[in-house]
Amino acid sequence: MDTLQQKLSKAAEIINKASYMTAFTGAGISAESGIPPFRGDDGIWNQYNPQVLELNFFMRQPEESWKAIRELFYGVFSEAKPNPAHHVLAKWTKGDLLKSLITQNIDMLHQQAGNEQAICFHGSSQYLICMNCDNRLKFKPSILETIPPLCPRCNGLLKPDFIFFGEGIPPKAYRDSFEAAQNSDVFLIIGTSGEVSPANQIPEIARHKGAQVIEINRDISHYTHRTTTLFLQGEAGTILPEIDLLLTN
Ligand code: NAD
Ligand code: ZN
């Protein structure tokens, strides 16, 4: 069994030779920025009922959903800053080493770190959308002074522009993600449990096409024994900077 140090060197070697590298991130990459993931010991679902993010529940009881959303997401996001893992990916993008970045996160931390083009597979918290007239508004804290927030144009119910359980993936994000996975010869899976579909099909596509799949996770995930070719166990904010130090180009 290789030691972590040997695995880090192997990862650096693979990344050095990549011609099309994609990274696919989940809530775990933002855990070290103070944003709790859904699952795991410190996960949100140990405290809240996931139905607050179901579209049907939201439409029936928007006030209750919005109270949870305001606390779980907007409150926490306003304090959070990108961590070293986000910064390394942004550096690799600038250096043209990372060609695509797909995130399941809605926290905008990749964008804050400089990855403005990150594909938001589940939408983002940056906009609110009117359920009545499709008006799209940029989020600002004053919008949440009344709960549920209402559309300034038509008084319709506003919903965050990230997808709830029961909603489809934004079509462009879907297309771009599957295309990136197909083009990849190196594919990084970072901080995601692999429990959310259809997002969890993206790494499978890359693997199926023959990509080397490097996974970074604190724990074993659904991918580890099925999709991953090199598993680096640890925290993304430590592992990614360590790999970065070992790169030659
Ligand atoms: P998840 O909550 O299902 O799993 C998180 C994964 O990250 C786990 O496998 C865990 O072991 C791992 N992890 C935790 N801390 C880590 C660290 N420091 N370094 C590396 N790995 C770490 O997350 P998911 O797979 O992204 O799926 C949940 C869904 O929840 C996504 O669709 C996402 O949109 C949403 N979500 C987003 C945020 C956010 O935007 N930051 C937060 C919570 C949930
Ligand atoms: Zn409206």
- The answer to whether residue 29 scores a pLDDT higher than 80 is yes
Averaged pLDDT, 67-95: 94
Whether 39 has a pLDDT exceeding 70, the answer reads yes
Kindly state whether residues 182 and 73 are assigned to the same domain: no
Average pLDDT score over residue span 7-19? 98
Interval between CA 160 and ligand 2 midpoint (Å) = 13
Domain with 43 in it: 36-79+144-160
- Same domain? For 204 and 90 the reply is yes
d(CA 184, CA 100): 9
Ligand 1, closest atom to CA 200? 25
Is residue 70 located within the same domain as residue 169?
A: no
Does 134 reside within a domain? no
What is the average pLDDT value for the chain, to the nearest integer?
95
In a domain, 203, yes or no: yes
Considering the domain architecture, whether residues 14 and 64 belong to the same structural domain is answered as no
Q: Which residue's alpha carbon is nearest to atom 18 within ligand 1?
A: 235
* pLDDT single digits (tens) 225-243: 999 999 999 999 999 999 9
Distance (Å, whole) CA 232 – CA 224: 10
pLDDT at residue 60 in the model = 96
* Ligand 1 atom at shortest distance from the alpha carbon of 85: 19
Within-domain flag for 128: no
- The structure's pTM equals 0.95
Best mutation site among 4, 105, 201 for ligand 1 pocket (most ligand atoms within 8 Å of CB)? 105
In a domain, 129, yes or no: no
Task: Average the pLDDT over 83-105 and give the result.
Answer: 98
Looking at all shown ligands, the one closest to residue 37's CA atom is 1
Cα separation, 69 vs 93, in Å, equals: 31
pLDDT digits (tens, 9 = 90+) for 129-176: 999 999 999 999 999 999 999 999 999 999 999 999 889 999 999 999
Q: Among the three residues 160, 184, 208, which one is the final residue of a domain in this structure?
A: 160
Residue 225 annotated in active site: no
Please tell me whether residues 10 and 42 are part of one structural domain: no
Per the domain annotation, does 235 fall within a domain?
Answer: yes
Ligand 1 atom closest to Cα of 38?
2
Last residue of a domain, one of 160, 188, 216: 160
Q: Is 109 found in the same domain as 15?
A: yes
Residue identifier of the C-alpha nearest atom 14 of ligand 1? 28
Q: Which residues, in sequence order, are CB contacts of 154 under 8 Å at separation 6+?
A: 130, 132, 133, 135
Instruction: Report the domain count for the chain.
Output: 2
Q: Centre a 10 Å sphere on the Cβ of residue 59 and count the other Cβ atoms it contains.
A: 14
Residue 6 DSSP SS3: helix
- Assess whether 86 and 59 both reside in one domain: no
Report which bound ligand comes closest to the CA of 131: 2
Tell me if 233 is assigned to some domain. Answer: yes
